[in-house]
């Protein structure tokens, strides 16, 4: 009985250690689906499409990924208001980002007055 209890305790501690070591090797990205209107009259939406060619669902609020260099495909959509009209621009770009284990990143973007979007990952 004592051996069984020791084995169970060892198995549980090994499983917990394995789970913790995996969690220590991941980073989290907040998938910011809507950034909103800028002061320049531009609406901006930015979201992760895939990480290392693995698709990410549009409604996913947080993406857990292995730490290290990752290829993150981002969709930038802008709506530029000029006079009485508007122009919708949408394009995908791939950003290589080096993520640190155990860290939290926020997907964000810089946008020009012409609607050009540059995704960025801000360390939280």
Mean pLDDT of the chain: 80
Over residues 26-79, the pLDDT tens digits come to 999 998 756 666 666 678 889 999 999 999 998 889 999 999 999 999 999 888
CB 102 within 8 A of CB 27: yes
User: What pLDDT, on the 0 to 100 scale, is given for residue 103?
Assistant: 96
Quote the strand ranges of 6-67, DSSP E.
26-30, 36-37, 42-51, 54-55, 62-66
How far is the C-alpha of 47 from the C-alpha of 119, rounded, in Å?
A: 9
pLDDT at 10: 46
Higher pLDDT, 118 or 27: 27
pLDDT of residue 34: 63
* Per-residue pLDDT, 78: 84
């Amino acid at each position: 009985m004592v051996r069984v209890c020791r084995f169970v305790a060892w198995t549980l501690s090994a499983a917990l250690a394995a789970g913790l070591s995996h969690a220590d090797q991941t980073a989290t990205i907040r998938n910011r689906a809507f950034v909103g209107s800028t002061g320049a009259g531009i609406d901006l939406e930015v979201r992760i499409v895939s990480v290392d060619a693995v698709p990410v669902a549009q409604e996913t609020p947080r993406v857990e990924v292995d730490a290290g260099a990752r290829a993150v495909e981002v969709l930038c959509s802008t709506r530029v208001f000029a006079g009485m009209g508007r122009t919708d621009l949408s394009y995908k770009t791939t950003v290589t980002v080096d993520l640190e284990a155990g860290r939290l990143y926020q997907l964000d973007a810089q946008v020009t007055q012409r609607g050009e979007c540059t995704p960025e990952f801000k360390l939280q």
